[in-house]
Amino acid sequence: MFMSRLIQFLSFYWIILPSLSSAFVTIGSKQDVTATAAAKSALFMAPRFDKSSQKWIGSEQDYEGGYGPMGSLIRQGPVPFFKRVTDPELYDQMVLKYQAGDGVGRKEAQGNMDAFLANPNDWLFQKNAEKKGAAKYDYANANTDPQQVILTSIWAAIVFSFIGRVIYVYFDTKGALVNENLSAISDAVTSAL
């Protein structure tokens, strides 16, 4: 008896309440309807999570506007570059998830994921500061100033040429030079004792 009354009560409110709530909605202009339709279509184009494959799936629009692996190298250095080159599927899943979660474009999502891969602690610190009112850092265009790119390239050339020279000398002398230096250091240490 009690259950049948409860079911009747709930079914009454299940039918009546939605119709009453829509009775008091103000009628919007055509512009409001267009804005709502645009929001729904933008929401539809956001990357979606496919539960069967356990992967994020993006439309063609979700892949537009991004940058290649060299962009990752320029913006955040070698760590995100190598992660992107060695595991492109994981990188793509990270970017699509960020796009869906924050509702941003591909370039901004890539910039944020590159910064996360380069230094997760600093990236998280910046995001928490942004939530508290700090200025939003533009990871999508970070380190893309032409003068900075040229300066970084020159320094990288100097460092890699020095490392290359050390490796060349080591293999050219078959390690004899290194062994001589190590034995000289060992002799100096034993004579000092």
Token digits of residue 57? 């799936």
With cut-offs at 50, 70 and 90, classify the pLDDT of residue 36: very low
123-150 pLDDT per residue, tens? 999 999 999 999 999 988 888 888 988 9
pLDDT digits (tens, 9 = 90+) for 42-58: 444 677 777 788 787 77
Residues whose CB is less than 8 angstroms from the CB of residue 140 and which lie 6 or more positions away in sequence, other chains included: 107, 108, 110, 111, 112
Q: What is the arithmetic mean of pLDDT over 180-188?
A: 84
**The pLDDT of residue 18 is above 50:** no
pTM of the predicted model as reported, rounded to 2 decimal places: 0.60
- Determine the Cα–Cα distance for residues 17 and 11; give it in Å rounded to an integer: 10
Question: Tell me, what's the pLDDT at 175?
Answer: 67
pLDDT for position 133: 92
Q: Is residue 179's pLDDT more than 60? A: yes
Contacts of 54-57 with CB under 8 Å at 24 or more apart are 55/93, 56/93, 56/96, 56/97, 56/100, 57/96
Does residue 61 contact residue 45 with C-beta atoms inside 8 Å? yes
Q: Is 25 helix (H, G, I), strand (E, B) or coil?
A: coil
